[in-house]
Every structure is written in structure tokens, then in C-alpha cells.
Amino acid sequence: MAPARATGNFPAVLVARHYSSGGTGGHDEHMRKQLATGLFAVALAEALAAYVVGPLSGLGAERLSDLLILSNATLGLALAAAGWPIAAYRPDTRIGWLLLGGGVAYGSTGGGMVVLHAAGDQDSPLWRVVATVVSGGWTLALALFLPLALVLFPDGHLPDRRWRWLVGLAAVNGPLFFTVGMISGYSGEVGVTGYLVTDAGWAYGLFTAAGLGLLATWLGTLACVVVRFRRGGDRLRRQLLWVMLALLLVAVLFLLDPVLPDNILTVYAIALVPLAILIAVFRHRVLDIRLVFSRSLLYVLLTGAAVAAYLAIVAVLGRGAPVLATVLVAVAFNPARVWLQRRVERAVYGARRDPVQAMAAVGARLTGTGLDGVLRALCDVLRLPSATVVYDSIQLASHGRAPELLTAVPLVRDGERVGELIVGLRYGESRLDPADERVLGLLAAPIAVAVHATRLADDLARSREQVITTREEERRRLRRDLHDGLGPVLTGVVLDAETALRLVHHDPDRSAALLAQLRDRTTGALDDIRRLVYDLRPPALDSLGLVGALEEYATMLPLPVTVDVPEPLGELPAAVEVAAYRIVTEALTNVTRHSSAGSAVVVLEAAGGELRVSVHDDGVNVGGGWQSGVGLTSIRERAAELGGRCSIQLDRTGGRVDVHLPVVVASRVGA
């Protein structure tokens, strides 16, 4: 059964997991879903208590706002609403359970304060216990559940073991901050005081330690998110950008809170974080989050830099400085925008604005890692989801998971198209950015070189395999000829010799006949041996050399053949000599059998590290084409075995076979 897509299709995911697991697994999943639903119901009840009972309790809208009752209930509901689907349909990530825990904790303060005010019984032990817990409930969400959810986002695991200290810090500081909340007496604002309320001196030290621990926890959480983003792949980065955008907006609103009119809207901004987590888990491809985040970060940094520069100039210059500060900020704004935009885009989109860096990153992988390493570097440096190299519909290498939209870049080397580079478009994009197209156009050249080298290596491997196969076939043929031909003949020779030896005195005539038969069989065996030897290497090559052997062969043909050697060939490797001899004899045999030629010319020339062999006849050929037979196929195969080139033409001027065989020519001394 195909796995369900993780796109928020909750029923599909549930059904897939049900059928992929046994009965016990399905029962456990049902129990987890019920538990998640129960926790969400608790958070919802806490929020409804704040929304419904709050206005009826007599506190008034202003008092509900000042005591953060409505905001705590809203944040609790937001955390629980984001955590419920994740816990129900992605239970192994642990993030949903942390968000549900944070929602219940936040909502306990919001709804609990309203319930305490409605109860109005300050001396009841039960309500004082409730007041004790309610006073610190929100602290667990802020110091424990929400930071841990971000640290474990999105797969429920730490980036690596080195971040375990952060989990330990949150696990220690969460209860500590909860204790501070309980002794703060927050519930006393509605008339019910908890048991642990105190104003002793040690309480301020505890509050300071908890505050520093909270600061360290959140700084470590932000660092963990950034590190995971830098190390992650395309999918992980897109998910993290949703969370980073929410954290950016929350940070900006909290930083601007001192200069904004007195309101608590900045507190409600925290709800953006669980909402971003929910979208990142189920719908992270809904739009190009890179573009949204990069523009948001750019203008936040620009605004912050402009305000800081303005205030610094005014503080330094004093009177009359506002006008000068405004002019300086206006002049520096565009250069600062360009500088910041380049760095933000480099962090989000990679080096698409810096072709030199992209070339260096890809070029460093050209040696040692192969095409797979090159494509990995390409995806890393341009933040692309996938890259694939294709040649003749054959995939040579690939990296990443291909999205729905793809685009192809031709790979050209020396005017020859050697393949295509198919890259996946970033989610949210309908086409490549012009900057991406320019960088890919530059990177296509070194990738084309790598593709060409890969093809050459593959061709060499295939040629070696073909040579080995041909050699094994030749060995099999020799074994068959020796076993089926010479073996029985020599066995018969031995038997005839023994019989003739026994009859030499008793039946001389019969012995003489056997000896004559023995002579004929031996002569046939010698002929077979000569044939086998000739097939391995023509003896004429050893006695006459390549040119002399071809001239001797030409004398046995029914048409005049000229062997032309403009310059001495020098010493040739044995394999090249045999290949050249076989190619010429096959070509001349083809001329005598299938051509109307009256003569032929064989030209041999050694130059440029190769042996050039040409066989040209003067036959007049007509028709629609030349059908290659066994002889011409053999010529091509012999040239390919040595890594050479072969060209065969047939027209009205005659037939022509041109072969180039690579060879290192060592001239004979005195040649």
C-alpha cells in the first residue's frame, strides 16, 4: 500500500497507519488520539471558562485584560489547537504532546483565575491549592513546553547529542520558574491566595535565577533552530522558516513594546509560534516561505538599523541633530538595503547572487566525489530541492527529492549536447529566478565536463567488458576446436600407431595402410594447428611485418591492390598490428565479394599518436544504402576494442573504410 502524503490529509494518514500496523498498534493509536482529544478538551474548557465566565464574574473587560486572563486563555487554546492534530496524527514527533501540555498549562491560569474569582472563598483549602497551581501554570508553558517543542521541531529529535544540555536546562528551569510563579501570589489579584506565597529575601534570588535560566533557555532554543536550519535540507529549511518567521515577528513586537501605546497585543503574538509549527508540519508548501521570510527579515533589520542610527546620531550631536540624522539615514538607507538584501538572500536562497562562490563550491566537488557530489553541492549552494543529470533519457546521477515543477538546463561541451541538468523549483515558485538562471548557465559548463568524463568512463568500462567477453569467447572457441578437432584426431593417431606396431610383422600390408592413414590424419592435424595459430596471430606478421603481410595477402586477391605507406610506421603494439591486419583483410574481402571495383588502395600512416588505416576501392555503387554485414560489424568492433574510430562510406566514387587506432609509436632506430 502506498504511504499517505504528509500534507494535512489526516484521515488518509490514519487509515494508512491502521492498515500498516497490527491490531495492537491500531488500538494504541486510537488511545493516543483519545488522549490528545482529552487534553485539547481540557484546554478548550479552560478557554471557554475565561471567555464565558469571565465577563459574568464581575471583573470587567479592563480587569480581564490587565490580569492577562483572556490572553492566557487564548494562548492556551492556540497551543492546544496546534498540538491536537500533530499529537493525533504525528504522535511520534512528541511536538504535539508538548504543545498540548503548554496549552493546558497556559489555559489553567486563564480559566483558573476566573473560576477562583467566581468561587470567592479565600479560606477554603481546596481553592487555595487551586490558586497555588494556577499562579504558576503559565510558567510551565513558557519555560518548558514551548521551548522543548521548538528544540525538537520538526521530527521530535535533537540536531545531535551536543544539545542535550538544553533539554536538561529546560527540564530544571521549568519547575524552578513554576515555583517562582506559585510563590508570586498572582492568584491574590482575584481574592484567593495560594499556600506558597512569600516575600522573603530568598524569593528574589530564586526569581533572579529563574529569569536568567529562562533567558538562557530561549537563547539556546533560538541557537538550536538556527543551527538546524544551516545543516538541514530543502524540506527542513522550508519548515523551519515558518517557525523562524513567527519568532521574528514575536521578537520585533516585544522589542517595540516600550515605544508602542500601552496594550497587550504583543502577548497575543506568541500564538503565531504554535500556528507556524502547525503549518510547517502539515502545509509547509502552501507558499514560498523563503520570499516572505527574506523580505520580512530584510525590512526588520533595515528598520532597526535606521532607528538605531538615528538615535545614536541624536544622542551624540545633541541639539540640531534630528535633521542631520534624518539626512544621513536617508542617504545610507539604499546602500544598507542592498548590502543586507545580499546577505539575507544568501542565507535563504544560497549563492545565486554570487556566481563565483557557486562555481567554487561546485568545482570543489568535481574531483573525488563524482556527479553525485557535484549535484549535492549544487543543491546546497542554491538551496534547490533536487537536481538530476540525464543523458538520452538515462539518469546518470541525482540528488534530493524532485518536486512537482522542474526545469531543464542543457549541458553543452565543445558545441555538443552531452545531456541535461534537471533542477526542481523551490516550492512556491513557478519559474526560476533570473539570478538562478545565470548561475545555472555558468555551472552547466563544469557539470557538462563532469558528465562527459562520466560518459567516457562508462564507455571505457563497456569497452573493457566487451574486450573481456571477446577474449572469453575466443578461449571458448579454441577449447572447442582443440577438444572436438585435434583431440579425436590425435587419439586416432595413437590408436592407429599402436595397431600398426602390432601388425608390422604379422600383416605388413595392413600395417602399411594404417601408417598411410596415420600420415593423412597427422597432416590434417597440422593444418588445424596452423589455422588456430593463424586465427590467434597471422604468422606473416612475425615474418614479414604488417606491410609485408598485407602485400602478401593482396597478391592472393582477384583484383590489383596497392599498399601505400608514405612514412615508416615504426614499432607498433601487437594488438594494433593484428587489428589493422584484420580490418584491412575484412575490408578487401568485402570489396572482392560485394563490389564492382577494379582496384583498391590501402594506405597506412602513423601520425599524432595513432595509426590511420584507409581502404578505398573504385567501384561505382548505387542504391539506397549499405547494409552492414558480419565483416563490417567486425571492423567496427575491432576499432572499438582499442578505443579507436571507424568511418565506412559507400557512394558513386567507391567504398571507403577509414579507421583511426590509438597507439604510442616508437620509431625504429635508423628508420
Asked if 239 and 247 touch (Cβ cutoff 8 Å), the reply is no
Residue 275: all three cell numbers together: 500556528
CATH number of 10-286: 1.20.1070
Average pLDDT value for residue range 353-374: 60
The CATH number, out of the four listed (3.30.565.10, 3.20.20.70, 3.30.460.20, 3.60.15.10), of the domain defined by the range 545-662: 3.30.565.10
Residue pointed to by grid coordinates 502577548: 267
Dihedral (Cα; 594, 596, 601, 605), 10-degree rounding: -40
Whole-angstrom Cα distance, residue 562 to residue 601? 5
Q: Which CATH class is domain 355-457?
A: alpha beta
Residue pointed to by grid coordinates 590424419: 521
Average pLDDT value for residue range 221-233: 87
What digits encode the pLDDT tens for the residues 281-307? 887 666 666 656 666 666 666 666 666
Q: Where are the beta strands (DSSP E) in 348-415?
A: 386-391, 394-400, 406-413
The helix/strand/coil state of 66 is helix
What digits encode the pLDDT tens for the residues 320-363? 566 565 666 566 666 666 666 666 665 655 555 555 555 565 65
Q: Quick one: how far is CA 304 from the chain centroid?
A: 37
Cβ neighbors of 110 (< 8 A, separation 6 or more) are 46, 47, 49, 50, 68, 69, 70, 71, 72, 73, 74, 75, 76, 138
Tell me the domain boundaries of the chain.
Answer: 10-286, 288-349, 355-457, 469-536, 545-662
With CA atoms as reference, report the closest residue to 46 among 112, 91, 99.
112
Instruction: Check residue 192 and give its pLDDT.
Output: 78
The helix/strand/coil state of 391 is strand
Strand pairing class (610-617; 600-607) = antiparallel
Q: For a pLDDT cut of 70, what percent of the chain falls above it? A: 73
Neighbours of 442 (CB within 10 A): 14
Instruction: Check residue 212 and give its pLDDT.
Output: 93
Helix/strand/coil (H, E, C) string of 470-482? HHHHHHHHHHHHH
Asked if 49 and 72 touch (Cβ cutoff 8 Å), the reply is no
Strand pairing class (610-617; 654-662) = antiparallel
0.85 cut: is pTM over it? no
Asked if 597 and 619 touch (Cβ cutoff 8 Å), the reply is yes
**pLDDT score of 17 more than 50:** no
Domain 355-457 identical in fold to domain 545-662: no
**pLDDT score of 16 more than 50:** no
Of 93-102, 511-520, 592-601, 649-658, where does mean pLDDT reach its minimum? 511-520
Instruction: Check residue 238 and give its pLDDT.
Output: 79
CATH number of 469-536: 1.20.5.1930
Whole-angstrom Cα distance, residue 55 to residue 51? 7
Residue 621: all three cell numbers together: 555503387
Whole-angstrom Cα distance, residue 438 to residue 574? 51
C-alpha neighbours within 13 Å on the C-beta side of residue 135: 27
Average pLDDT value for residue range 227-234: 81
What digits encode the pLDDT tens for the residues 440-488? 777 777 778 777 777 777 777 777 777 666 666 766 776 676 666 667 7
Whole-angstrom Cα distance, residue 353 to residue 341? 10
Of 174-178, 214-218, 593-597, where does mean pLDDT reach its minimum? 593-597
Indicate the angle between helix axes 164-183 and 125-140, nearest 10 degrees: 140
**pLDDT score of 604 more than 90:** yes
